[in-house]
Amino acid sequence: MALGKDYPGQDCSLSRALEMLGERWTLLVVQNAIYGVRRFSDFQVRLDIPKAVLSDRLARLTEGGVLEKRAYQASPVRYEYVPTDAGVELWPVVYALGVWGYRHIGGEPPRLFRHAECGAALLPSTDCSACGPVHPRDVEMYPGPGAKRTDRVSQAMNRPRRLLVPVELEPQA
Amino acid sequence: MALGKDYPGQDCSLSRALEMLGERWTLLVVQNAIYGVRRFSDFQVRLDIPKAVLSDRLARLTEGGVLEKRAYQASPVRYEYVPTDAGVELWPVVYALGVWGYRHIGGEPPRLFRHAECGAALLPSTDCSACGPVHPRDVEMYPGPGAKRTDRVSQAMNRPRRLLVPVELEPQA
DNA sequence: CACCGTTGGTTCAGTGAATGAACCGGGGTA
DNA sequence: TACCCCGGTTCATTCACTGAACCAACGGTG
């Protein structure tokens, strides 16, 4: 969406945010990063995203300070992409858009969220209905009736789990 | 972004929301509709958006139930686009993305927001720091240090005003 | 040693979408 | 009559997305 062609002349914070996040796939990558997806191949499996686009999006998000790229092993060197603080602060955006999609476009919710400390559901905002504002690390995600994907990464995410905790795959059968 | 090419196989509410809202310009159109912009030419002046794209976005948002198109006069027939309830519910999304853009990309905020009843600023969420959740119609917007646009529509929006109230232009000099 | 699998990519041709300029048509207004 | 406003449509060019093929480093297997 952006890539050299910005929203020219806009004085708006929203347009600046969309420069970074508004391209196709970008916000889905960020969402999955918050859900704990870390590795190139895991993003690819879960999103069915063309490799060239994923490569571009990860690079731009890294450059823009939303994700951090780091080697999690040497020889062979392998990379993971971890949300920065700025990335974690996109949780309200991702959640609000998801709630809107569920409410106004329909279908079953594929994932539900509750405050891990007290078990209460989140509001339409990311606040806990009992305790108020909740950091995403204290949010537990569990599968809802709309969960349909069967790839290995999605399966690993189908157990109740906290946000931001890295997804670990089962060793392959 | 979408237009026949969806996010195939995604079971996610976010991807469904992005089908409707994720194309270039779409969220900026929604934002301005919430700010009170109503007419084709006013969107165009404020956004510097190509007419063909604006036409497409307004049609898709109307079809998707985010905006309602209605004639505000006959002879000559003239149309306005007004946010539906579903459109108004995008206020938290628009606000959260704007806050993120301001915090993490920088620049001065072009607009500030306060709870009209009590005058207190909004939190990073759309809640009032004193009173809790606030409907957008009770939010007052006023220009911040980053307001730069000089077109007639932006000028008309530079007085403190409630969200959702239609922008009325001064008769031209 | 040859070969294969995994991870994390790049390259490239084809297709679809955005851009910006030109044009259009129904009414008012001078 | 001529001109302007509003709300568009059309079209050639440019740009981005897609999907398939390819690549390279390394480890493991026979």
A22-53 per-position pLDDT tens digit: 999 999 999 999 999 999 999 999 999 999 99
> SS3 for A80?
strand
Q: CA nearest A67: which of A48, A90, A49?
A: A90
Residues 6+ apart with CB under 8 A from A171: none
Through-space separation of residue A76 CA and nucleotide C5 C1' in angstroms = 14
Which of B140, B144, B135, B139 lies closest to B160 in space, CA to CA? B140
CA of A47 to C1' of D20 (A): 18
Map tokens 């069915």 to a residue: A48
The runs of H, that is alpha helices, within chain B are 13-21, 26-35, 40-47, 51-63, 85-88, 91-105, 152-156
Q: What is the pTM for the complete model shown?
A: 0.94
Residue A91 predicted with pLDDT over 50: yes
| Nearest residue in chain B measured CA to CA from A86 | B104
CB B144 within 8 A of CB B108: yes
Tally of residues, chain A: 173
Task: Choose from B14, B48, B163 for mutation: most chain A CBs within 10 A.
Answer: B14
Place of tokens 């006959």: B74
A115 in helix, strand or coil?
strand
Q: Is the pLDDT of residue A1 over 80?
A: no
Q: Which nucleotides of C are covered by protein (CB under 7 A)?
A: 6-12, 16-22, 26-28
The neighbour count for residue A4, using CB atoms within 10 Å, is 4
Q: How confident is the model at residue A132 (pLDDT cuts 50, 70, 90)?
A: confident
Query: pLDDT tens per residue, chain B (173 residues)?
Result: 433 457 877 778 999 999 999 999 999 999 999 999 999 999 999 999 999 999 999 999 999 999 999 999 888 899 999 999 999 999 999 999 999 999 999 888 999 999 999 999 998 889 898 898 999 999 999 999 999 899 999 999 999 999 999 998 876 65
Q: Do residues B97 and A93 lie in contact, with contact meaning Cβ atoms separated by under 8 Å?
A: yes
> Which chain A residues touch B106 with a CB distance below 8 Å?
16
Of A95, A3, A54, nearest in space to B13 by CA: A95
Evaluate if the CB of B127 falls below 7 Å from strand C: no
Cα dist from B151 to A5, A58, A127, A170, B46, whole Å? 22, 37, 38, 58, 7
User: 3-state DSSP call for residue B61?
Assistant: helix
Q: Round to whole Å and give the CA distance between A135 and A88.
A: 9
Which residue is it, tokens 């490799």?
Answer: A51
